[in-house]
Structure 1
Amino acid sequence: MADILARLDALSRHIETPCGEGRMVWRLWGEAGREAGPATPLVLLHGGSGSWRHWTRNIEALSRDRLLICPDLPGLGDSDMPPPADSPAPVAAILRAGLEQILGGRGYGPWRYDLCGFSFGALLAGHLAAQAGEELRSVTLVGAGALGLARQITPLVKVRSETGEARIAAHRHNLASLMFADPANIDPLALAIQEANTVAARFRSRGFASTTSLKDAIARARAPVALLYGERDAIAWPEVESRFAALRAVQPEAWTGIIPGAGHWAAYEAAESFNAMLGDMLARRLGTLHR
């Protein structure tokens, strides 16, 4: 399983931008896209306690005809901690500055990109959308919290003090409780990703999930907005439609979708369906966005 992650990493280009007193690490796959149309660069923001590895089963498909950009968010993966803040907004500002450094000086004319964020990455995507100008073409939120709605309690177990088989069992329990709809879909690669992400995670983001932070931020977005959930996403089920309604209260034209048979980590558990649904949203965003 480590070979799969190492191969993807080796295929990427690494770029560093400032983050707090250190640096933020970005990985890029594919080629720079045209300035308009479906090949506009796509930026993927991973979930809390995660890294670029959350997109392992999406990278090759989504980078075939576009530049794909996957950062390790501040304080996660290979990226250093951001300055202390009581809101996601300053962290989003770090992302925006990094994107301007990466895309703004490439000599392709006005820089544009599509944005997709998962879980905590969706929260940061909302705050980034609130700050962005015309460079942001669309924003897709996946498995989003912080819409002002209560969620079921998800029982997780502590992993850091465990070793050996007990540590693997703890990872499997947490993935089954929060990330997957069907525990049978938890394969060795998912466990390897969970282990790598857990070891590197320093930034704690769970406190934002029960707030209205995303709803308040995405209300200020000027780009078209979409919201996707796995059918059995632990943070939304059984009230997915109420979350769509919360988004439409501030973004009436938002496009929404449900990925059948998937849990919170839909981009992994139902990768083909996720890739197709995201591609459909991106292909149609220049025309009428249907619900």
Structure 2
Amino acid sequence: MTGLIERLRALATRRETPCGAGTMVWHVWGESRPGLPPVVLFHGGSGSWTHWLRNIQPLVAAGRQVIAADLPGFGDSAPPPSGGDADALVRPLADGLNVLLGGEPCDLVGFSFGGLTAGLLLAEHPALARRLVLVGAPAMGVTPDRQFELKAWRHLPSAAEQEAVHRFNLAALMLNDASLIDGLALELHIANLMRDRMPRRRLAHTDILARSLPRVRCPVFAIYGAHDALYKAWIHQLEDAFEAAAPDFRGLVLIPEAGHWVPFERPEAFDDALLTVLTA
């Protein structure tokens, strides 16, 4: 894992923007091109830019500049100046994108918690993006109750006990294919969890994204794994929910045999779907 991350990191330009008492870290690959806005990637909860490890190079190969954030409170980025949930990230993200992009709109792609955050951001700052792509985003008000339960791990005394819980949680929430749990997915998951400074997030279990999307002016696209653990049997209610919430909703793509972390689990199918909506 370390070699793959380091190779990608070595190819990137590291940028920093103000965030609370420290800075927010962004990684940039590729060059900007006229008529092709940068693709900005927001990772999921308890994650970092490495949630997109398998997707960055295909985007760059397609001619896009890619900017992957470590969201405030995750990865190498400082916590936001106040608050501990997605709404606290809006101001430092807006300020950071204005610094990086100079007021030009991007194509914004948000996975899970990052999708929720992207929706809140564009509801307040709609001019920041030319289009919004939501990937496995929660908080659409579709399910009557939580569809999964995770186990606690921080109190466990041994690394082996903690690792067993991490495997359980990856199966419960992130991945449909159990054969992918060991190896790279497990290593990334554990490394990112250790740097999560915002563990008390609750907005993902509300309908706040559905309530925010009416203020998002750009086209909205959605890509989900067909077996996303956030929704399970309710996954087919999502399209109607997006149609009702987003003024310019352009469609939902369901990736077969994929769970919640669809960019990692089915990277080829996901990359094809993402490049399609980015050129729509």
On the 8 A contact 2:28/2:65 being kept in 1, the answer is: yes
CA distance in 2, matches of 1:143, 1:206: 17
1:32-88 C-alpha deviation (Å, 9 max, x unpaired): 132x2xx32000000001100100010111122111001101111111111223763
1:221-265 C-alpha deviation (Å, 9 max, x unpaired): 110001121010000111112122111112254121101110000
Matched, 1:282 2:275: no
Matched, 1:155 2:172: no
1:194-244 C-alpha deviation (Å, 9 max, x unpaired): 111011001136411121211111110110001121010000111112122
- Per mean C-alpha deviation after superposition, the further-off stretch among 63-72 and 200-209 is 200-209
Structure 2, unpaired ranges of 5+: none
- Structure 1 length-normalised TM: 0.89
Q: Which residue of 2 aligns with 1:26?
A: 26
2:39 to 33, 37, 42: 42
2:206 to 202, 211, 221: 211
Matched, 1:113 2:109: no
Q: Percent identity at matched positions?
A: 41
Question: Alignment partner of 2:28: what SS?
Answer: strand
CA spacing shift, 1:266–1:10, aligned 2, 3 Å: same
The structural deviation recorded for 1:135 is 4.2
Q: Which residue of 2 aligns with 1:249?
A: 244
Question: Alignment partner of 1:137: what SS?
Answer: strand
Question: Alignment partner of 2:150: what SS?
Answer: coil
The structural deviation recorded for 1:112 is 2.3
- Structure 2 length-normalised TM: 0.93
AA partner of residue 53 (structure 2): T
1:121-176 C-alpha deviation (Å, 9 max, x unpaired): 00111012212344411001111111123344423222333534333322211111
AA partner of residue 277 (structure 1): A
Q: Which residue of 1 aligns with 2:4?
A: 4
Q: Which residue of 2 aligns with 1:55?
A: 52
CA distance in 2, matches of 1:199, 1:134: 34
Cα RMSD after superposing both structures: 1.7
Q: Which residue of 1 aligns with 2:266?
A: 270
> Number of paired residues?
276
1:96 to 94, 97, 106: 94
Question: Alignment partner of 2:257: what SS?
Answer: coil
| Structure 2 counterparts to residues 75-94 of structure 1, below 5 A | 75-85=73-83, 88-94=86-92
The structural deviation recorded for 1:4 is 1.0
